Structures are given as C-alpha cells and as structure tokens.
Structure 1
Amino acid sequence: MREEGAATTSPKPAPFLTDEQRAALDQALRDKAAEQAKARAAANHKAAAASGERKSRSVKGPGGAKKGGGGGKYTWGSLLTNGAGDEVVDRNDPNYDSEEDTRDVVLLRNHQAAVRQEVAAYKEHIRSLIEEYFCSGSVSDVADSLEDLGAPHLSHYFVKRLLTAALDRKEREREMASSLLSGLYAEVIPPDQLLKGFTSVFACLPDLLLDVPDAPDLLARFVARAVVDDVLPPAIVGAIDPESCPAARDLRQRCEVLLAGRHSAEKVLRCWGGAGTGTLHPDSQAAISSLLSEYLAARDEAEVGRRLRELGLPFFHHELVKQALMAATDNPAHLAPVVALLASLSSSGQVSCSQLAKGLRRVADNLADAVLDNPAVGQRFGEVMQAAKAAKVFDDLQPEDVGANAAAALFGSSTTPTAASGPSANGASPAAAAAGVVVSMPPGLAAFKAASLAAVREYFDSQDAAEVAASLLALDEPGLHPLFVKAAVSLALDRKDRERELVSKLLVALVPQVVSTEALAGGFTRLLAASDDLVLDVPDAVHLLSLFLGRAVVDELLPPAFLTQVLSSLPAEGLGVSVVRSAGLLLGARHGTERLVNCWHGGALDVGAVRQAIREAVQEYGSSGDVSEVARCLRELEAPAYGHEAVVAAIELAFNRYHGSAPAASETASAPSSPAEAAAPVVALLASLAGQGVLTATQLAAGVGRVKAALEEEVMDYGPSARAVLDWITERGVAEGWLAA
C-alpha cells in the first residue's frame, strides 16, 4: 500500500485556459489583427492621396472606340497590345503610315520617362530614409516606410544605396545595415531583389574604390554576414566575376576565405564588432558611462570629444548631459569638472543645443523622485545650475525648451505654480528649494506615484508586504491604486528576477484585501497601453509584461477573460496586443501553470519543496487537528497556484483513515466505521481553508478533479471504499457551498 505522503499520479497537465477561453481570445486577436490591417490600409491610402497619386475611377474604359482602330468596348486599343493576331507596323507595306510608327515611339519614350521619374523619386526617398535610420536605429520605421512606398520591384536600389552608404561610414552603421537587411528580408524586401542589389554593388566596385579604398574587404564582410544570416545563398560568391577587374578578384577571394575558415559563422557575426558597436540602447548607455568615468578620473576633455566622435551617436548626447549632471548632483567634488566639460562641448558644438536641453530636462523633471533617495538633491541641483549659468553652458536655451524646474533654476521663472514648502497632506517629503527650483512632490497624482515608488523600493529591501498595505491604506486613495500597480510592475521590469518575483508576491498579498480586482485590471491595462514607451527603456519589456500578466492570471488575481476584454482598450498597432498574445500562448500551453509560477527562476520556490511542505502540513493536521497551522503554512509558502496539492493530500488522508494503514498512536484504537466518520475532519479542514480564502474555488475543484482522474490508482492503494469516501466529500462540499457542483 502507498505511503500517506506519496504523490498521486495525475493525468497529463491540461492548459490553464479552457477551450472556450482560448477560442474567445483567438477571435479577439483576429479582430485586432483585422483592425490593424484596416488602419494600415487607410494610412497607405492617405499617404498616396497626399503625394498626389491618383488612381483610375474605374477599371473599365469609357466604352468608346480608341484612336487607331483598336477600339472596342472596355479595351485599350491596338497600340498597347502586341499579341497573336495583332497588326504590326511594316515599313515595306504599301499602306504604311509613318504616323503610326511615330505614335509607338512617343508611347515608348513616355513610358521610359515615367519609369525614370519613378526611380528618381524612389532613390530620393530612400536616401533620406537611410540617413534617418542611421540616427534612429528603428527597423520597424524603415519597414513601414518601404511598405508605404509600395514599390517592391525597386527594392534592389534600396539595398545598393544602403550598402554604399554604410561602406563610407563606421562600424556602427555597418552593423546596423547588416541587421536591417536581416530584419527586412522576405517580409519587406523580396529575396530576388536583395540578390539583385548585391550584384549591382559588385558591378560598380571599380567606382567604389575611388571613394572607399578598402571596399573589397568591407563588401566581403557584408556578403559573408548576409550568408551567415541566411539572407543570401552561398552561391552568391559565384556571381562575382573574377575576370572583370582585380578588385572583383580580390572580393571573391576574401568572401571564400571568410566563409571557409574554422568557426567562420561566429567570427562573421562579430565582423562589425558585435554588441559593442552602439546599436543597442544599453550598449550606448554603458559606453557613455565609461567615458564619463574616465573623464572624472583623468579630466581630459579632448579624450571625451574624441570618443564621442568615435561613437557616432549625436542623437544620444543627451544621455551624456544627463549622466554628467547627475554625477555633479550626487558628488559636489564633480561639480567643477562636469561644468567645464559641458561648457567645452557646448562651445565647440559637439553637443547641440537640443541635446543639452533634452539632457537637462530629463534631470530636472526627475528631481521629485530623486529627492526620496537624496534629500539634498534640490540644493545641489541649484548649485550646479548656478555654476553652469556662470560658465554660460545653457545660454542658448529658452525656458520652454527645458521645462518648469530647469527654467526656474536658469532663468528665475517657472511655467507652473510652485508647491509650498513643508510636509504635504499626503505624506510627501518637505519641499527643498534652491535657486527658485522646487523639488518637492506636487499634490495629487505625482505625490501618490512618489509615495508608491518609495513604498515599493522599501519593500524590495524589507520584503514586508504588510508595510506596503499599511502605506496604501494611509494614503486613502483607492481610486489611484491602478497607478500603484503600474508603478510597481514598471519598477520591477528594469530590475532582476528577485524583484520581479517580489512584486508578483506583493500583488497576491494586496489583492483583493487592499487593492481591488478592478484596480489591478486598470493597472495592467495602463501597462499594456504604455508598452511602446516601456520598451524604449527595457528592450525585453514585451516578454516580461507577458510573464507578469500570465502570472497574475495563474495566481487568480485576474480572470482569464481579462485577456479578451482588454484588447478593445489597446491600439491595434501597439505592442500591448503582442503582450496579450504572448500571455495567451503561455497560458494555453501544457505545463503553462508550472512555468508561469516559476517564471522568475531564482526568485520562485522549488516545486518539489512546495509540494513536500504542503503534504507535511496536511499530515500534521491528521494528528493534531489544528486547521490554523495548515492555513499558516499555506500562506507562508505564498504559492496559491499549488493549493490543489493540499486538496489532494487531504482527500488521501481521508482514504488512509478509513481503510488505509493502521492509525497512529494518538488516534483512536480502531479505524472509523463509515466514510462520513473518516472524511469529516477532512471536510472541516477544506471548508475552513475555503472560508478563510486560503484555497480558492478553482484550486478546490482542480484538486478534486485530480483525485477523480486517478481514482483507479487510488482504489488499488486504498481499496474500493475510496470511491465512497470521495463521493461523500464531494457531496458535502457541494452542499456546504465550498465546492462547485
């Protein structure tokens, strides 16, 4: 006979979502995809109308006869046809009319002129498009622009222009060009057009040598990278004619060497420097942080300028301004070198006025959050602004460019009323004003957000969910709880798995006692709507948000129907739809529940340890009869998704009490005489746990379902009486209301 603590063999795990829920979500996603396609079609039509492009009002002609005798109802006449049976102009024909031949020539010339105009307009558009891409790095924007152009037959001009433009730039732009070709392949640029673009570059290689002497080496890397990325076939090397010129021969040899060497794929993938080329936001931040740290140690302004030129990130210089100002604010010893650096970069024009304004505004607008960690930040920021004003760093800026806080410090004016000093009514920190700038929490939404962020940051250190609950109750703003949910999840996105697991557990502790289910749904709706902004700071935000959303559904904080309902609130082309789709796939997969419970890896409890702890608590209840101890154990485990394990263990305890192993010494001398007597303590336990909210109706039903599915094995271990015991427990549960019928 099986031991009391042995695990029940359960059937194959079913997906978390039912077939009806899955079908409803799929239909909602299809409707959203149709809405997105309709929006894109409308945008393309609007763009075509704005560019002056006109389409025929009817696919049919007016119905009259055409000039030249080729007319007929709804036909285009003989001049545009040349099939079997059509008359061909013959100069030796006695009836030859030179005007007919002239009309053919005119039509051909008009067609060629129209093609030349189309190609010229296409080339002009892609020239600015490529320049913009090298600044923004947005592949999706390039894809949308090329789709709006609607000329896939001219895509080879785009490939050629992209390659020739990247050849004369730095490693960063070359890496971006290779990544762009890989991202656009097949979906935007047809494979034959990509191949044609490369071969056209091969043909103009002698001309490229005049401007780029190392063109064969660079172009060979482009070819090898495209082959490794499965964008070009390896046979592309055979399209290079080694007899055409010495440069072509050199190019072919280099391509063969790059593709034939050991570990060639790994080497080619890093041919432009890999992740360190500044194409990714974290890489760019790290590079700027590194050069600023070296400057603060060596005080070499010329070296900073040189490294900025090497990075080639003029659109990201605001990050240097931000980090420099924050360094001066955090450490007064850095004030003088930071002001000197910014003055040098500003006067030389290496950092533009717009980048100075953007960096300054990022720091000034975040002072309200910074004051929570450093109460002296207001005074120090005012000192930095006074020193920068004396050095004429920001003299070319206008008040409207830098925001209210920075304008108050630099120009002594503010576009918004300042808050009064002293503690605010909602518990915000006192105002800290310096040089006219106020860094205290403004009343209302900003104050609530600041207090929420402070509570979550403190929770990351203390792990005391009760303290967070007390803070929210003290604020007494239940209508703003969706902002708390959004702030907590957003803060965890940019941290490690430990903090993400803590936020998931915090939501379990707060919902619904402190934060209502409606507020939680509102918070996740705001998160999904802001996905496009979050991904700018956290590139993996879509995946992380899908895990948070799926975890909330598995923890029974949100109903599965939320996935379907929230789609109507999201823009069709936003990333929020992708988050919902990913969460639906996770919930619909086998073992989806277990994966989502352990989605934060090291922050989650071991599954085996959870099950063992639950079964030990139930076994102890069989001896002591202490329901409160079982409830305490389940709450401390903080694994509500495994509540069904406690139900299985409790039912097996009833089986064992009726016709199982010999009773323990603390129990009665004889086994219970009826199923009711054996199962009564178990029913009392389950009813009490359900009444306290420790076990949800879903977990109770899942546990009973597991036992019913494995009842044949239970009968083999505990005898035929197991059926009677299970039936009695089920009947009592339905009658008492804690088990669904």
Structure 2
Amino acid sequence: MTSLKISPQSMATECQAWLNANPIDDLSDSFLSGDEEKGPTRRIDNEINGNWISAPTSTIQEARLKAKAKRRLRKNSSRDSGRGDSLSDNGEGVRGHTAPPTSPKSKLLDRKSRLGKGRGLPKKGGAGGKGVWGTPGEVYDVQEVDVKDPNYDEDQESCVYETVVPPLNEDDFEKTVTPIVQEYFEHGDTNEVAELLGELNLGSMRSGVPMLAVTLALEAKASHRGLTSRLINDLCGKVLSRADVESSFDKLLRELSDLVLDTPGAPQLVGQFIARAVADGILSKSYIEGYKGKVDCEHARAALDRAAVLLKMNRGLRIENLWGTGGGQRPVNQLIKEVNLLLKEYLLSGDTVEAERCIKELEVPHFHHEFVYEAIVMVLESKGNKTFQMILQLLNFLWKSTVITLDQMRRGFERIYMDIAEINIDVPCAYSLLEQFVDKSVNAGIIDKKLSDLCPCRGRKRFVSEGDGGHIKFEIY
C-alpha cells in the first residue's frame, strides 16, 4: 500500500486557486487590533482564518492553534461579560461592568454553601445568626464570676437588690387613696383594696385610711357606710393594726366640729361607726369609757353617747345590720316587704316627699317596677276611692320627679296586665277598676295611649242568668 504525500507547495497552490475562485470579504474569526484597523487596506487573499498560506507547515499548525484559542477566548469573554473583567487578545484585563455574584441556583439570600458541599442544613444547627440566643431548649448555666476580671468588684457579690417605694406624704396620700375607696364603693371587694394598699408605702399615714374612708362615707349612701364598716374590719390585721384604727377614730372625734359643717348628722353617724367597730372587735370595749369626763366638744360627746346607746340597746337590734344591706344585695322577699311597708306608711301619712325619700334609700332603681306593681294591686284590693286617688297622686309625683323611669313604669303596668286574671279570682271587680285606673293614668300623663290599649278587658260577661227567669243582671261595683 503506497502512501500519498502532498508537498507544501502543491497545497499552497490549491489553496490559492480556491481563494481566487471564492473571494472572502470578511472573516468571522479574524481579530483586528486598533493599529490594523487604522492602517491601509491589507490584502486577505493570502490568509485563511488568520493564517498565512505562504508560511511553512509548522507555521500553519501554530496559526490554527492560535485561531482556536482566540475562538475559545471570545466565547468565554462573551459569557462572563456581566460578571467582571475579561481578557483581551494579548491576555490583558479589560474592565467591564461589575455585577454582584449570584448563587449557582440564582436564589437570593441563599445561606447554603456555594461549593455544593454539605446536606443543606442551617448553620450551627439553627443557633447562629443575628438575634439568636442558641438552639431551642438550650438552658444556660449560672455564669461564675471571674475573680481575675478587671471589672470584678468584691462588694457586689453580697448586694441585695429590691424595689424601694418612697413613703406617701399627706397630699399624695389623699390623691392616691381616695380613688381606691371610691372604686370600692362600686365593686365592694375588700381583698382588692387590701392588695392595692399593700403596694403603697403608707408609712405614718397608715392610720389615715379609716378616717379617709369614714369621711367619704359620711357624704355617701347608707349602703356605702355599711361597706366602709366592713372594709375597716377586713383591713384590720392585714394592712392596719388595732392601734391604727383607734388612732383614726381619735382624730375623727377631734375634727367633728369641722365635719358638721358639711354633714350636719356627722356626730350620730360617727357614733354608729364607733359602735360597729366595737361590735366587730377592732376597737376595745373600754374605748368609749376612756373618754368619760375628758370630752369638751359637744359633737364628740354626742357621737360617744350615740355609740354607747347603740351598744346597750337590747331590743333585737343587731349592730351588724346597723347600716342595712345594699339594695342589690338584699333578697327579693325582703325588698317586697319593705315596698309594701312603704306604701302602707304613705297611705297613713299622705306625705309624698317622705315616700320619695324612702324609695331612694332602698337603692334599687332596677326594682321600681315592683313598687308600681304593688301600688296598683293595693288599688284593686281596696275598692275605695281614697286609695285610688292617693296611689295615682304618688305615681304621678314619682314620675314627674324622674325617680321611676319610663321603662320601670311600663314594666309595672305590663305585669298587672299579665296577672289580672289571677287577681280577678280574689277581686271580682278587678277588670273594671284596672280600666278606670289606666284611663286616669293616661290623663295624668303617667303612661301613654299605646300602653293603655294593651289593658285587658273581661272576655265574657253574663248579663242573663238561666235560673233568674231571664232577668238582666247589672253589676254594681
């Protein structure tokens, strides 16, 4: 087998003939420098892909390798054009647009390793990063004090830190304790008052708590005075001592002459507070006897005499119920009895002002519909014109003075409408009397026409009796 050898001269001749037949205007693989572009037009007939054909074989091979390297360089530079610097033809760095590096997966804020190593778990098991104090569930031990620390102070090891509350002066005491007592009149929880006072540093003003509470109660209702007596009893032993209570009542007796100016009945009320305190055991039984022959003020003497009389009374009076029970805390049966007693006293005296004062002292504005109900029942059961007129006058007076509201008045009449059938069993003329009372109430402006239209009438009247021979029966009321 013979090998065919081609000489360089014949190869060059063939390339020259091919170039003459196929002229090339521009070569994509050629790369012109700045000097070559500015120079005269050069001939490219003797060049193939940047390689001169007149060169020897080794030169042609070297030119091909350079052309291949140029193509790789241009390809890599175009791929990395947005990442930073690129290399020129001669290997020099060309400064390009610098772009921030991105992760292999083009994800922002990717905390995984860029090297592709690891299992994708967070760093330090989730204990690293800003604002992280350690892995979940990690418990730190007590750090031992380093004696060699330059900031170490031996005196700090025996220090005990506690909150110090400054003691209240007289002005701050009244501003701080007064809202507590007034709020107690609304909720009646002595434990809450004891907790609030325990957070204060009363100091020498501790004995002023009972006096301030009694002073506020003198201008309040009877139920508030009862709450005040219970508050003093519950605070004694927790926040106050018996000496504090005794000192407070001593100061009250000394200032009675000033309290009378605002509350004329202050001596009698303070005497009742003293009697209740002695009965509760927070004042000694010899407290009143210790003032015999030592009191010059007539108001203080009246208060002590009132307390002594109440303690010596033996007529079934219980000192614990001296102030009565608050309206909302009383049982319903007791309230109904007091309402009936109030109405009976009014029918005997005819004093509407006194009746108004008594109904206010009950302190049950939500229960005034019972008062209206019982008043109308008395009218139906009396069958007399006097009771009819007096009850109508009383309801009209209480309605105009706004003691009984529209809602309570309406509920009282509606309850009568619902129970009139049962009332008629005992009072046969109840329907007729109720119609007359409702008409008079509408004329007086106590109720409106809409409520009067709801008044029930007798459903069936028998005017002819079968056993009377057909005679008509007229009912006379």
TM class by shorter chain equals 0.3 to 0.5
The structure richer in helix per residue is 1
Compare CA radii of gyration and give the structure with the larger one. 2
